[in-house]
Amino acid sequence: MTQDIEQADGRPDHASDTDPAGRARGERGERRYRFLVAGYALSSYGTFLNMVALNLFVYETTGRALAMGLFMAVRLGSGFVAGLIAGGLLARFAAKSLMLWTNVAQAAVMLLLVFAPGGMRTAALMAVSVVVGACGTLFMVALRSSIPEMVGDDRRPWANSLSITGRSLAMVAGFASAGVVVSLVGYTAAFVVDMATFVICAVTVALLPIPGGGGGKDARPDSEGDSGRGAEEKRRTGRWRRPGAFLASAAVPGLGLMVVLRSVDAFGSSSHNAALPVHSAALDAAHPAVFVSAFWCLWALGNVAAQQVIQRYVRRTGRTVGAPGFGYGTCLMSGAFILAFAGFPWAATTVIALVAGAADGLTEVSYTSHLQTLPADLRGHAFGLSATVENLGFGVGMILVAAALDRYSPLTVVGWSHGVAVVVAVVFLIRVTRTRGRTGVPAARSGADRGGPVR
C-alpha cells in the first residue's frame, strides 16, 4: 500500500533513479511517447481543420443550416455510445490495437468521402460523422488510460501536459488554416490532408510498443494465466463483470462528483463555443471571424504556458497538482469565460483569454492525472464514463444554448451556463476539503493532493 501511495503522489521512483537499466527504459519510453504525441498532434490538426471544412461542406451540399446541427448531433451521439463501450473494448483488446484501427477507420471513411459520387455524398457525410465521433473518443480513452504503462506513474503529469500542449497547438493551427486551405485548394484537398494525418498517426502507433488494454494483459503463457475450464469461465463471466466495473469506476470515492463536474464543465463549454461567433459578429459585423480567431489563439497560448508551468512544478517538487486543482481550475476558467463576454477593452480581454486557456490546461491535467491513478482494470471504464458524460453535457448544451441565444445575450447565456459549473466546482472543493479533514492527513500528504484515490 505504501508503495502505491508514493507512486500515486507523483514522486519519482527512487529505485528506478538508482538503476541505470531502469533509467534507460524510462528515457526510451519518453522518446517513444514524444513520437506518439507528434503523430497525435498531427491527426488533431486534421480533425480541427475538418471541423470547419466539413461543416461548410455540409451546408454547401444540403443548403440547410439544420443539416449542420444534425451532423454535429450524430458525431456527438457516436462519441457518447463509444464512451459506453470503451472500457469493455480495452478489457478485451490491447490499447495499441484500438489506437491503430481507430486511425485506420477514420482515414478510410475520409477516403470514402473523397471518392463518393454526388448522389451519395449525404450518406458519406453521415458515415464520416459516425466514424469520426466514435473513433475519436475510443482513441482518446485508449491513449489516456495507457499513459501510466507507457511512461510510468511518476511521469503522468508530464505526459498529460505534453499531449494537451500538442492538441492545443493543433487546434489553433487547424482553425486558423481551415479558411485558407478551403479557399485556396478546396474541400477535397482539405479532406485528403485530414486523411493523411490519420494515416501518419496510425503509422506512428504501429511502430511503437504501446502497453495497456486487455490484449496486453492476456498475452502471457498459459502457465501464468488461466487455462482449460478456468479460462472458459473467465471469458464467460467477463461479459457480466464489465458493466459492474463500469459502475465501480463511478463509485470510487470522490470520482463520481468529479465526473459530474466534468459533465457540467462540458455544458459550460458548449455555451462559449456557440456564443463566441455571435459575440464576435456583434463586435465587428464586417469581420466576424477576427474576435473568434484571436480569442482561441490567446486561449491556446495560455494553455501551453500553463503546461510548461505544471511540468516545472512537478519536476521541482515531485508532486502533482492534485484533485483540488481541478476544482480551482474550473472556477477560474468559468469565471474567465464569463468575463470574456462582458465587453472589456481588448487589453483586458487578452488577459482574460490567456487566463481561460491556462485554467483550462490546469483542469485537463489534474482531471486526467487523477483518473490515471485508478487500477488498470477500472481505468478504461472510468475514461469511457468520462467521455460519455462529456459528450452528453456538450451535446445537450449545444441544443439548449442555441435556443437560448435567440432570446438572450451571449453574456447572459454564458453566465448562467458557466455559473452552474462554478457552483458544482465549489461543492466538489468542499467535498475534497472535508475528506481531507476526516482522514486527519495534512494537506501536503492527503489523497486528493496525491492526485488520485487510495486503492
Tens of pLDDT, residue by residue over 334-347, are: 999 999 999 899 89
Please state the domain extents for the chain: 1-220, 234-439+446-455
* Angle, vertex CA 276, rays to CA 274 and CA 280, nearest 5: 135
Q: Give this prediction's pTM.
A: 0.74
234-439+446-455 has which CATH code? Answer: 1.20.1250.20
Q: Are residues 425 and 331 in contact, defined by beta-carbon separation less than 8 angstroms?
A: yes
User: How far, rounded to the nearest angstrom, does the alpha carbon of residue 181 sit from its chain's CA centroid?
Assistant: 26
Within 10 Å of residue 162's Cβ, how many Cβ atoms? 23
| pLDDT tens by residue, the chain, 455 residues | 333 333 334 344 444 444 555 555 566 667 888 888 999 999 889 888 887 788 778 777 776 656 766 787 888 889 889 988 888 888 888 889 999 999 999 999 999 988 888 778 888 888 998 999 999 999 999 998 888 888 887 788 888 888 888 888 888 888 778 767 777 778 888 889 889 999 999 999 998 877 766 654 443 434 344 444 444 444 444 443 445 444 554 555 567 788 889 999 999 998 898 888 888 878 877 766 678 778 888 898 898 888 888 888 877 877 777 778 899 999 999 999 999 999 899 899 999 999 999 999 899 888 888 888 888 778 888 888 888 888 888 888 888 887 888 888 999 999 999 999 999 999 999 888 776 655 544 443 334 344 333 33
Terminal alpha carbon distance of the chain: 8
Which residues 6+ apart lie within 8 Å of 332 measured at CB?
Answer: 355, 359, 362
pLDDT tens digits along 242-296: 454 445 545 555 677 888 899 999 999 988 988 888 888 788 777 666 787 788 8
Please indicate whether the domains covering 1-220 and 234-439+446-455 agree at the CATH topology level.
yes
C-alpha cell, 369: 492525472
Residues forming beta bridges with residue 213, ordered by sequence position: 94
Architecture of domain 1-220: Up-down Bundle (1.20)
How far apart are the C-alpha atoms of 186 and 127, rounded to whole Å? 21
Grid cell in block for residue 8: 500515486
The whole-angstrom separation of Cα 245 and Cα 242 is 5
**Which residues fall within 8 angstroms of residue 423, CB to CB, at 6 or more apart?**
none
Ramachandran angles phi, psi of 72, nearest 5°: -70, -40
Q: Map residue 343 onto helix, strand or coil.
A: coil
